[in-house]
Amino acid sequence: MTYSRIVGTGSYLPEKVLTNRDLEKMVDTSDEWIRTRSGIRERHIAADGEVASDLAYAAATRAIDSAGLTPADIDLVIVATTTPDMVFPSTACILQSKLGIGGCPAFDVQAVCSGFVYALNIANMFICSGQAKRALIVGAEVYSRILDWTDRTTCVLFGDGAGAVVLGASDEPGILASKLHADGSYSDKLSVPGWVCGGKTTGSPFVQMDGGSVFKFAVRVFEEVAHEVLDAAGLTIADVDWFIPHQANIRIMEASARKLKLPLDRLISTVERHGNTSAASIPLALDESVSAGRIKRGDTLLLAGVGGGFTWGGVLLRY
């Protein structure tokens, strides 16, 4: 039987750093207000003209290099993004062109902050069914383009960045279990309710969020989906070496870990320095922890995401 396993990781953060002190000069907020409500101190902001595929390309090349491969070895490209370069073609197709590997399937996944978990699950099915051998999965976001920089409830929370993994066919299980969900009845709780019509933007082109509803929902479904994948794999929370949730808010992340009875020293957190990078947050945190030597081969990882829609999902894997 064919399984899939992560064989390489990579990430990229734009050069510009926007601190809470910088935001104090832009909007009615304070460093203390931001930190106590989110745990965020700073975030990265894409340069003018720097788009999602640029961030994705930098992260992807690093992931491919770390896997000891070349772009020509990749036979599936999936980009999870809420902030694509354009309406179409997909950012995945643009990334594929930049990598010089035309011919293999390439498409975007739009599940907001759960996008990377969704894309990883899809790639796993491609590999297990024999339709691909080496898949490139990237989460890439430029949220700075869809923020109202006068709205202190949203603009302080998000950042730009990209993270990537290469998933390869293996004789040994890597992806142990995965579960995906969505409930569109919550679509008004976290959204960008605007669209292009006749060359003009109709509705709001900025992130709108009911923070209280998002918090309560996220903590509940993180716990539920964690138990779903653990049960499916026949494991318990004690078997988990590292918990990598979507990096939205440190209070959500720590509350979820406590509900799971998981020691906080097994919680991977980068939100302090990255902010919420949506679909990029999990692969960014994963690559940083792998590069630092915290995550080692054979470790069991629990990944979980929740995002607008609402969408949510979890993946249990052996690194």
Distance of CA 215 to the CA centre of its chain: 17
Could you say which of 44, 113, 124, 249 is catalytic?
113
Task: Name the DSSP letter for residue 293.
Answer: T
Give strand pairing partners of 180.
313
Is residue 93 annotated as a catalytic residue, yes or no? Answer: no
The C-alpha atoms of residue 20 and residue 29 are separated, in whole angstroms, by: 9
Is residue 128 annotated as a catalytic residue, yes or no? Answer: no
Q: What DSSP assignment string belongs to 204-217?
A: --S-EE-HHHHHHH
Residue 32 in tokens: 């203390």
Could you say which of 121, 124, 246, 274 is catalytic?
246
Is residue 113 annotated as a catalytic residue, yes or no? Answer: yes
Cite the beta strand spans of 157-260 per DSSP E: 160-170, 175-182, 190-191, 194-197, 200-203, 208-209, 242-245
The C-alpha atoms of residue 55 and residue 284 are separated, in whole angstroms, by: 12
Catalytic residues: 113, 246, 276
